[in-house]
Structure 1
Amino acid sequence: MADLDLPPAAYRALLKLRSRSEPGGRIAMDQATLGELLGLSRPSVNAALRELELAKLVKKVRNGVYQINPMLAGYTCPEDAEAAVRAMPKADRLDNKNYVASYHKAVAAYQDQLAEQRKKRAALAAAKKASADKRRGSLHAVG
């Protein structure tokens, strides 16, 4: 996991989630609560959880409910741990030889997606400004 180069907030969030999880790795905790426990803002917690999801270390089940990767989760007995790991897709396993490369590829794809969204917002803002300038130019002073 050290090769992932996760932000410190993501590591802290993972450790806090793991310490508060049920056997099997399920945890019910909203972002605000996690932020309070870590001393982080909600946007920082959101970014940390996104990194953990991209790394397949934590999966969001639904709002306020997360699942820790079975290879990191705590279990009540070794047999439960072995069964959970055997049931995992091979691509999600931390011992997969392509795991780190897959994470870096997911991060790059996410950053590309964000860049595309920024371009669209900038183009929309420019179009609105041009439209407003055109309307202003067609107004005539009365007098």
Structure 2
Amino acid sequence: MSSSDLRFANVNCEGVLADLDLLPAAYRVLLKLRAYSEPGGLINMDQAAIATLMGLSRPTVNAALRDLDLAQLLTRVRNGSYQLNPMLAGYLTVRDCKAAVARMPAEQRLNWPGFVEQYRRNVDQYQDQLAEQRRKRAETAKAKAAAEARRRGNLRAVVS
């Protein structure tokens, strides 16, 4: 079976994708994975294989996949297996396509009025999580440095 045997959902996904303002690598990865997907949108390919296929580094692929996940365009099923949003996936029949889209929650549909805003909120929440992790690491490092300074001070007092 070739990708030309698949029919795609009849939604103007290009307009929505352009509005998302994804990372450039995310667009490339999405299009490539779409071409390699099985009917229904399942992709069995790990990050290393995607990186090799695309000529990208693993961190770049990882960031692209994270961006696609935040946009609800691609989800990780398990290691080395991803699922396209049903409105981007290819299907063998129009009936399969309509059934998959009908099973989707409204807020995951590309034509949901708040889809782009949801992506932006997801990105903001992710950035907030990263900032909180950096803050905690800085606090931990500061506490360790203070403990080390106290330990050195105690050693000097014993030696003197």
TM tier relative to shorter chain = over 0.9
**Offset at 1:77?**
1.1
Task: Give the letter for the 2:131 counterpart.
Answer: A
Tell me the equivalent position of 1:76. 92
Offset at residue 4 of structure 1 (A)? 0.4
**Separation of aligned partners in 2, 1:90 and 1:70:** 12
Does 2:149 match 1:133? yes
| TM-score, length of structure 1 as denominator length | 0.97
SS at match of 2:91: coil
Q: What is the aligned counterpart of 1:8 among 21, 24, 40?
A: 24
- In structure 1, the partner of 2:6 is none
**Alignment pair present for 1:66 and 2:72:** no
Q: Which amino acid aligns with 1:96?
A: W
1:26, CA displacement in angstroms? 0.3
CA distance in structure 1 between the partners assigned to 2:48 and 2:40 by the alignment = 23
* 3-state SS of paired residue (2:124): helix
Give me the CA root mean square deviation. 1.2
Q: Distance in 2 between matches of 1:8 and 1:17?
A: 15
2: CA distance, partners of 1:54 / 1:36: 23
Percent identical residues? 60
- Displaced runs of 4+ in structure 1, greater than 4 A? none
Aligned to 2:114: 98
Residue 142 of structure 1 deviates from its aligned partner by 4.8
Structure 2 length-normalised TM? 0.87
Amino acid at match of 1:26: L
Q: Which runs of 5+ in 1 are unaligned?
A: none
Deviation track 1:40-70 (CA, whole Å, cap 9, x = no partner) reads 1111111100000000000111111100001
Determine helix, strand or coil for the equivalent of 2:90: coil
Q: What is the aligned counterpart of 2:129 among 113, 124, 133?
A: 113
1:56 aligns with 2:48: no
**Rounded Cα–Cα distance in structure 2 between residues aligned with 1:117 and 1:40:** 27
- Give the whole-Å Cα distance in 2 for the aligned partners of 1:38 and 1:96: 31
Structure 2 distance, partners of 1:50, 1:4, is 14
Any gaps of 5 or more consecutive residues in structure 2? 1-16
Residue-pair matches, total: 143
Hey, what's the Cα distance between the residues in 2 that align with 1:50 and 1:127?
32
